[in-house]
Chain A
Amino acid sequence: MTTNDKIDLFKQLKKAEYAQPKKPVLIDVARGIYLTIDGVGPPGGDEFAAKVGALYAMAYTIKMTRKFDGRQDYVIGKLEGQWWSDRGPDLKNIPQEEWRWKLMIRTPDIVGEGEVQEAAKALLRKGKAPEVEQVRLEAIAEGPCVQMLHVGPYEREWETLSQMLAFAGEQGCEPHGRHHEIYLSDPRRVPPQRLKTILRMPVKEIAEKNPAGP
């Protein structure tokens, strides 16, 4: 398979937005286009699984249709997720049933709304998951973020997150907005201790009068 002529954003941005440092770093995440789908509930639950499936089905249908039609090809990005709850961005003491998430796949800006609608129609015609209709194109800019690679089970992300938090403090920053993860490994077969996940923490400068939140 040659990839020379294909757009590959993950590779292009591997030293920037998709950096995988072993120590926390501060980066700037510019505006990017993503295919997204929103949901609520535990990771790995039924809704989550159905929506991951719908998102991938849309990503591959859009890409393969372009390929069939001989238009500019690209490499499908990694699965990413933003996590938060209605009670705030910190999920530490929030039951999983209340977790909100946005599943995302970075997509080059050559893909248009029309292609997204066509893909959903094609999949629905073939009786595929109705969730595909909820997939949309979204532009997201996160600005300054602390980023670090987490290796190990998702349940132990707090270990990496606490390092990131300490680092943010040293930079005079605090978390601001939704926790973001980029999944580099496939949890279906990769053992938990070997899972690789990029953790991204959007931050802002600590305002003088505002003490750090709880």
Chain B
Amino acid sequence: MKRSTLKDYKQRMLRVLLYIQQHLDEQTPLEDLARTAAFSPYHFHRIFRGMLGESVKEHIRRLRLERAAMRLKHSDMPITRVAFEAGYESHEAFTRAFKAMRGVTPSEFRSRNGTYPQLKSLSQVHFREGGAIDDFEPMTPGGEPMEVKIERLGPMRVAFIRHIGPYDQCGGAWEKLCAHLGKKGLLGPDTAYIGLCHDDPDVTPANKVRYDACCTVSDDFAPQGEVGVTVIDGGDYARTTHFGPFDKLNETYARLMGEWLPRSGRECRSAPCLEFYLTDPENTDPEDYITDIYAPLEPE
């Protein structure tokens, strides 16, 4: 299989960026955006955020406001219509968002002479009439290099309890699972505590996030009541360690997917990432949590 280079990743992401610019008024589902450039929907959003330095939602919002600014300056379009086409239902909401970004209200912006600097964008991707962008600069790794190891894992048989709801409320599923397994003598030194998030908490509505609390079990363990059994596929995984609270996990994901992956020559397999918890959140300060993130990779 051909190795994917940083250039390939850039070209593919450019297709997504073009699509967004040309369909700025549409609500394109993330899966469809991912498909325009053959990204796995499991990982697309994190790759986007990692390479562009902003989420898809933030990106679209910014481009719409840039377009609005252009129309205010270079057309007679009424402000209410500019607001509506930028995706705002009220003049007030538009004014607030515009002022937050530009420092002046839309009408001040229109009446004043002089130029305004471009809005800040880490990727230097800005709104162009007709969507004619031909290049962008993906985020470059800054600070300490990210430590990533590629590991081959065998298939893992796990007992699990599914939690549907906000990611930060998955503790209840863990308590139930551990009590159930602990009572049976199944929490041994070799037990791995794995979180499997089917939905990205950054883009899925909180009450719909599906999360499986998983513990590795041997072959003779049978499902019982709420506790199910499944097998997590083995294969190559990229492992990196996240230090600190769970609400900062998305930053480590963004670096893994936006900085490391495009430069790794590898491609993500279409399956969720795994989180291995090495510390007990009950007796550890959030600052000291240690979580290994495993991103599944296509075979080389």
Q: How many residues of A contact B (CB 8 A)?
A: 39
Inter-chain contacts of B288 with A (CB < 8 A): 184-185
Residues in B neighbouring A22, C-beta threshold 8 A = none
Q: Within the complex, what minimum Cβ distance (angstroms) separates B284 from chain A?
A: 9
Stretch at the interface among A55-63, A86-94, A142-150, A197-205: A55-63
CA distance A64 to B290 in the complex (A): 22
B185 near A: Cβ within 8 Å? yes
Contact residues, A115-149 vs B (CB, 8 A): 119, 121-129
CB-defined contacts of B283 to chain A, threshold 8 Å:
8, 10, 75-78
Q: What is the bound-complex CA distance between A122 and B290, given in angstroms?
A: 29
Of residues 1 through 44 on chain A, the ones whose CB sits less than 8 Å from some CB of chain B are 1, 3, 6, 8, 10
The docked-state distance in angstroms from the alpha carbon of A189 to that of B290 is 8
Which residues of chain A have C-beta atoms less than 8 A from B181's C-beta?
64
Task: Please judge, given known A-B contacts A10-B283, A186-B279, whether A67 and B182 are in contact too, CB under 8 Å.
Answer: yes
A166 interface hit (Cβ, 8 Å):
no
Q: Is B21 an interface residue (CB 8 A)?
A: no
Q: Is A182 an interface residue (CB 8 A)?
A: no
Interface string of B161-183 (1 = CB under 8 A from A): 00000000001001100111111
Report A-chain residues with C-beta under 8 Å of the C-beta of B281. 1
Asked whether A96 is an interface residue with its Cβ less than 8 Å from the other chain, the reply is no
Shortest distance between the CB of B192 and any CB in chain A (Å): 12
B185 touches A128 (CB 8 A): yes
Is residue A65 contacting chain B, with contact meaning CB distance below 8 A?
yes
Which residues of chain B are within 8 angstroms of A52 by Cβ–Cβ distance?
Answer: 189
Contact of A67 among B175, B189, B278 (CB under 8 A): B175
Contact of A189 with B278 at beta-carbon distance under 8 Å, contacts A67-B182, A68-B180 already known: yes
Interface centre among A1, A121, A129 (most CB of B within 10 A): A1
Offer 7 A-B interface pairs, CB within 8 angstroms, sorted by A: A60-B182, A63-B182, A77-B283, A119-B185, A124-B185, A129-B189, A189-B292
A-B pairs, top 6 by smallest CB distance, nearest first, are A64-B182, A53-B189, A122-B185, A1-B171, A128-B188, A68-B179
Interface residues of B (CB under 8 A from A): 171, 174-175, 178-191, 218, 241, 243, 278-283, 288, 290, 292
Q: Which positions in A face B, CB cutoff 8 Å?
A: 1, 3, 6, 8, 10, 50, 52-54, 56-57, 60-61, 63-65, 67-69, 75-78, 119, 121-129, 184-186, 188-190
